Amino acid sequence: MDPAPAPARSAYAGLFLVALATLMYEVLLTRIFSVTMWYHFAFVAISVAMFGMTAGANWVFLAPRLFAPDRTARHCALAALAFAGAIVWSFLTHLCIPLLPGRSLLAFYAVALTYAVLAVPFVASGVAVSLALTRFPGRVSQLYAADLTGAAVGGVLVIYTLKVTDGPTAVLVVAALAALGGVAFAAGAADRGLGGAARLGCALLVAAAGLHAVLVQLDRPALRLTWVKGELARPPLYERWNSFSRITVEGDGTVPSPPFGWGLSAVYPPERTVRQLEMRIDASAGTYLTAYDGRLEAAEHLKYDVVNVAHHLRRDGRVLVIGTGGGRDVLAALAFGQRAVVGVEVNENILDTANHVYGDFTGHLDRDPRVTFVNDEARSYVARERRPFDLIQASLVDTWAATAAGAFVLSENALYTVEAWTLFLERLTPSGLLSVSRWYFLDRPDEMYRLTALATAALLRLGVPEPRRHVAIVRRGPGGGARLPANVGTMIVGRAPLTEADLDRLAAVARDLRFELVLTPRVAADPTFAVLATAGGLAEVTARFPMNIAPPTDDRPFFFHMLRLRDVFRGGAVRALGVGRINLEAVFVLGALLVAVVALSILCVVVPLALATGRTPRRGALPLLAFFAAIGFAFMLVEISQMQRLGLLLGHPTYSLSVVLVSLLTASGIGSHLTRHADPAGRGAAGRLALLLGAVVLFGAVTPRVVAGLEGAVTWLRILGACGILVPLGLVMGTAFPLGMKLAAAAAPAPLGPWLWGINGAASVVASVLAVVISLHAGIAATFWTGAACYLLAGGAFLVARRGRVAGEARAPAGLAAGPGRLTAAR
């Protein structure tokens, strides 16, 4: 019997590099689309990209003559080079396509065209990866290990690439890495012409990336984001990227203008002006840099802003500002004469921009002895900080940015959960206050309703019998200088009941500044607020309210998404309830995407098999189909749910992305490599799958306890705890795919590998959307346990497929049982 084919050593490097470039480009597209489009469209982009890879795998399956086995190395090289070229072409094309507002035919066409262009590079990537993984069944364990390890390295490399350069340059870097993968594949093709062309293409892309990086440093980039959220973008004064944001500074700081205020009082003198610059995050979320020369008169307008009303109640105290932005809240604390201010900002680029790049403009607040800036996620910092605060302030802390997790988590926020607010209240002095400002839509203040429900739930958890005595809500009255489409309200929550002196002072401030008292222990302008602030009324109101205003928890940390699952396709009716356009579109897009990916996945399963009927026998294919679909669902559901859970523990987006991806994917790669001698017909294979299921169940139960136990630990210990969960889990999760491929090579009478790999990819796409749907509707834990159930189904399908193989061998004439011989030869 002829020995099974083995790939050239360079093929492992080629697969590693293509997988690396693929994951880097997926994350990059999330970043870029979060700027050029809205974050929920970035989520769709990732799904379309993954489907491009599935289409590439199906192409390999449907065209066996084109992709002849004896030319695998050449085809892998050509696909990798096509991947590199298509990356550049698709990105340049995207820069020329505006995302038009609304739901017109042209707007739909613009989005559809963008996604079609986006999918092309991933089709080429899918061809290369599919060929490499399925043409050498005897080496699938080692090849799959190279694939996963490459993806893990890509997840880290994209972080550091965006640390030193911008998004467009990073795209050129990814293209160069993909071309380098083509060079590696070409080395095993014994084709000097192809090798020379690959090296030339790689050299040109490396040169282009290096040249553009230099141009970026000189602030003269050749490639810029031309269309930003449907508008032609002007070059900003300053631009800086990282793995979870793009920061720009715009405006003219030399020309005084009316001061910006989230909720500026109507009594503020209109003739007063300040010098200021606008800082934008992903071209949407904004904050302002205020010119400050050390004289507090420059910050006088901040005393008239409703977001700072709590400073009127607590003076000469220790203040924590969550989300410093351009420094307005820190400057406000100084203007009110607070003793000490700690500003926690998760985005290091924001801190660097405000305090260093524009430090001369902002007065170098970081040099003020009363001020301390901390680059950390606020909840993680507060959990570790033992000194109490007199005031904790968070003013409209959120963005429309896609998260570092590749937009898979749909903008959850760990600051607005019952557990987070319980922690914040525990870190206050006995008379301390928590001040949180959010949008207050006049006709339907659903966001403030939910904020009230959140405050009540947190106070009840702390054992407070009458939550309303601890809560006050103030909103900006009519008029005012804010250039905003909606009103702003500030909620004040006391660890102790608000005193009569507090309420008198608050009433006087509201009268003097023409603010409106919406809720206090004395008054309630809206009876819904009054009921929500009571222990008995919370459950009743949240159950019957048309929107989901129930208090978010760490298991369902989606404060900004108040649509229930049943409301996804009730666009007109829901819009009448006053839901914000962005949230409505986000949930609508998510529902439509789920339907689309399920339909496309069915096509990926049915159409290739129908087209192959007559030349590819289908005996034994059904249980294999079920196995690869189930592990595709399971891996993605477990990965995303663990990313969501451990994101609460790790805090900083960079840690969440790098630690989770590197730990899980690298460990999965090692687990795959450990199956290189495994026989799918032996008891060891079933034992490995049983171990996998047991490990998933164990770590599903352990993870919430580890997260809770390490919340206040130092950073390195939290990272170590996350790795302690992810590495063992990844080791066993990485065994399923290579065991299935070995079984398919031995059991199936025809080469179904590319098709099965495509099914696995299609299932992963559906799971990436389904994970968010389940998390929104039922919680992160439900997402995880759904993944565990999929692993159970996969184990059953594997046993059925293996039993079919054994039965086939029993029917086959002696010496014709190709499967075992092929595997034996491969070993």
What is the per-residue pLDDT across 309-331, written as a single tens digit (0 to 9) for each? 999 999 999 999 999 999 999 99
| pLDDT tens digits along 39-82 | 666 666 667 777 888 889 888 888 888 998 889 999 999 999 99
Residue type, 553: T
Would you place residue 422 in the very low, low, confident or very high pLDDT band (cuts 50, 70, 90)?
very high
For residues 620 and 750, give the distance between their C-alpha atoms in angstroms, rounded to a whole number. 10
Q: With bands split at pLDDT 50, 70 and 90, how would you rate the model's confidence at 391?
A: very high
CA 231 to chain centre: 25
Whether residue 17 lies inside any domain: the answer is: yes
Strands 515-519 and 340-345: unpaired
Token look-up 């990926």 returns: 604
- Rg over alpha carbons for the chain, rounded to the nearest Å, is 28
Q: Are 826 and 745 within one domain?
A: yes
Does one domain contain both 8 and 104?
yes
β-partners of residue 343 are 321, 373
Higher per-residue confidence, 541 vs 762: 541
Q: What is the DSSP letter of 223?
A: -
Q: How many residues does the chain have?
A: 827
Query: Could you tell me if residue 412 is inside a domain?
Result: no
Q: What is the pLDDT of residue 648?
A: 78
The rounded distance, in Å, linking the Cα atoms of 47 and 593 is: 9
Q: What residues have CB less than 8 Å from 539, skipping those under 6 apart?
A: none
Beta-carbon neighbour count of residue 180 at 10 Å?
A: 25
Which one-letter amino acid corresponds to residue 419? E
pLDDT band at 805 (very low <50, low <70, confident <90, very high): low
Q: Are residues 222 and 285 in the same domain?
A: no
**What is the predicted pLDDT for the residue at 40?**
62
Residue with more model confidence, 594 or 216: 216
Q: At what angle do helices 581-612 and 753-778 cross, to 10 degrees?
A: 150
| pLDDT attached to residue 824 | 27
Place of tokens 């004040």: 492
Please say whether the beta carbons of 413 and 560 come within 8 A.
yes
3-class DSSP state of 436: strand
Q: Give the side-chain half-sphere CA count within 13 A for 772.
A: 28
d(CA 392, CA 341): 10
Q: Is residue 169 part of a domain?
A: yes
Over residues 185-195, the mean pLDDT reads 90
Query: What average pLDDT does range 660-684 have in this prediction?
Result: 88
Please indicate, yes or no, whether residues 299 and 151 belong to a single structural domain of this protein. no
Tokens of residue 275, six digits = 């010098």
CA 64 to centroid of chain Cα atoms: 37
Tokens 């749910």 correspond to 641
Instruction: Indicate the number of domains in the chain.
Output: 3
Residues 58 and 187 both lie in one domain? yes
3-state secondary structure of 101: coil
Which of 76-80, 179-183, 744-748 has the weakest average pLDDT?
Answer: 744-748
52 and 179 housed in the same domain: yes
Closest residue by Cα to residue 125 from 165, 73, 178, 172: 178
- DSSP E strands: which ranges in 216-324? 227-228, 231-232, 238-242, 245-250, 276-281, 285-290, 318-322
Residue 691 lies inside a defined structural domain of this protein: yes
Helices (H) and strands (E) in the chain, counts: 26, 14
Distance of alpha carbon 715 from alpha carbon 697, whole angstroms: 27
Helix (H, G, I), strand (E, B) or coil at 493: strand
Selected residue with higher pLDDT from 290 and 760: 290
Phi, psi values for residue 491, rounded to 5° = -100, 135
Do the Cβ atoms of 17 and 567 come closer than 8 Å? no
Full DSSP string of 373-419: EEES-HHHHHHH--S-EEEEEEES---SPPPTTTTTTTT--TTSSHH
CB atoms within 10 A of CB 693: 17
Out of 7-16, 68-77, 566-575, which region has the weakest mean confidence (pLDDT)?
566-575
Question: Does the pLDDT of residue 149 top 90, yes or no?
Answer: yes
Angle between helices 736-747 and 683-709 in degrees, nearest 10: 160
Label the pairing between strands 231-232 and 227-228. antiparallel
- 590 inside domain: no
Q: What dihedral angle (degrees, nearest 10) is formed by the CA atoms of 14, 16, 22, 27?
A: -150
Least confident window among 182-186, 357-361, 494-498, 752-756? 752-756
Q: Give me 140's structure tokens.
A: 């699938």
Distance (Å, rounded) from C-alpha 624 to C-alpha 557? Answer: 37
Q: What is the mean pLDDT of residues 745-753?
A: 67
* CATH classification at residue 519: 3.40.50.150
pLDDT in tens, 257-303: 999 988 999 899 989 999 999 999 888 778 999 999 999 888 999 99
**Locate tokens 């083509």: which residue?**
182
What pLDDT, on the 0 to 100 scale, is given for residue 245? 87
Q: How confident is the model at residue 6 (pLDDT cuts 50, 70, 90)?
A: confident
Alpha helix ranges (H) inside 651-682: 653-673
Q: Are residues 627 and 527 in the same domain?
A: no
Q: Which residue has the tokens 């590696």?
A: 184
- Per the CB < 8 A criterion, the answer to whether 352 and 250 are in contact is no
What integer pLDDT is reported at residue 602 of this predicted model? 75
> Which three-class secondary structure state does DSSP give residue 173?
helix
Please provide the average confidence, as pLDDT, over all residues in the chain: 85
Closest to 319 (Cα-Cα) out of 344, 342, 346: 342
Coil vs helix vs strand at 136: coil
pLDDT value of residue 444? 80
Q: Are 308 and 332 in contact (CB under 8 A)?
A: yes
Least confident of 136-150, 162-176, 392-406, 450-464: 392-406
pLDDT of residue 244: 83
Inform me whether the pLDDT recorded for 825 exceeds 70: no
In angstroms, what CA-CA distances link 68 with 62, 131, 193? 12, 10, 20
Check whether residue 288 and residue 212 sit in a common domain: no
Classify each residue of 703-732 as buried b or exposed e, where b means 16 or more C-beta atoms within 10 Å of its C-beta.
Answer: bbebbeebbebeeeebbebbbebbbbbbbb
Tokens describing residue 577 = 């309830």
**Tens-place pLDDT, residues 611-662:** 665 555 555 678 988 999 999 999 999 988 888 888 778 877 777 777 888 8
Please, which residues bridge with residue 241 across strands? 246
Which of 497-501, 717-721, 821-825 comes out lowest in average pLDDT? 821-825
Give the CATH number, domain containing residue 215.
1.20.1250
Looking at residue 612, its pLDDT comes to 63
- At 573 the pLDDT is 47
Within this chain, do residues 228 and 258 fall inside the same structural domain, yes or no?
no
Structure-block tokens of residue 296: 């507090």
| Residue 816: pLDDT band with limits 50, 70, 90 | very low
Q: How far apart are CA 445 and CA 438, in angstroms?
A: 10
Is the residue at 85 inside a domain?
Answer: yes
CB 406 within 8 A of CB 46: yes
DSSP line for 494-541: ESSPPPHHHHHHHHHHHHHHTEEEEE-SS-BSSHHHHHHTSTTHHHHH
Give the number of other Cβ atoms within 10 Å of residue 31's Cβ: 26
Choose between 82 and 679: higher pLDDT: 82
Share of residues in the chain with pLDDT > 90 (%): 54
CB 396 within 8 A of CB 364: no
Determine, yes or no, domain membership for 573. Answer: no
User: pLDDT tens digits, residue range 681-740?
Assistant: 777 888 899 999 999 999 999 998 888 888 888 888 888 999 999 999 999 999 999 999
Opening angle at CA 793, ends 791 and 798, nearest 5: 90
Alpha-carbon distance of 737 to 672, in angstroms, equals 8
Q: What is the mean pLDDT of residues 527-536?
A: 94
Residue 75 is part of which domain span? 1-232
CB of 126 closer than 8 Å to CB of 56? yes
Last residue of a domain, one of 517, 533, 551: 551
pLDDT, tens only, 105-135 = 777 787 778 888 888 999 999 999 999 998 8
Q: Return the H-helix or E-strand segment holding 106.
A: helix 105-134
Of the given ranges (294-308, 375-389, 813-827), which has the lowest mean pLDDT?
813-827
- pLDDT, mean of residues 162-185: 96
Question: Which distant-in-sequence residues (6+ apart) come within 8 Å of 396 by Cβ?
Answer: 262, 307, 437, 438, 439, 488
Task: Answer yes or no: do 647 and 515 share one domain.
Answer: no
Chosen domain end from 531, 551, 571: 551
Check whether residue 338 and residue 477 sit in a common domain. yes
Nearest to 361 by CA among 291, 300, 295: 291
Indicate if 146 and 294 belong to the same structural domain: no
Q: Residue 453 burial (CB < 10 Å; 0-12/13-18/19+)? A: buried
Say if 241 falls within a structural domain.
no
Mark which of 514, 529, 551 sits at the end of a domain.
551
- Token digits of residue 135: 């043409």
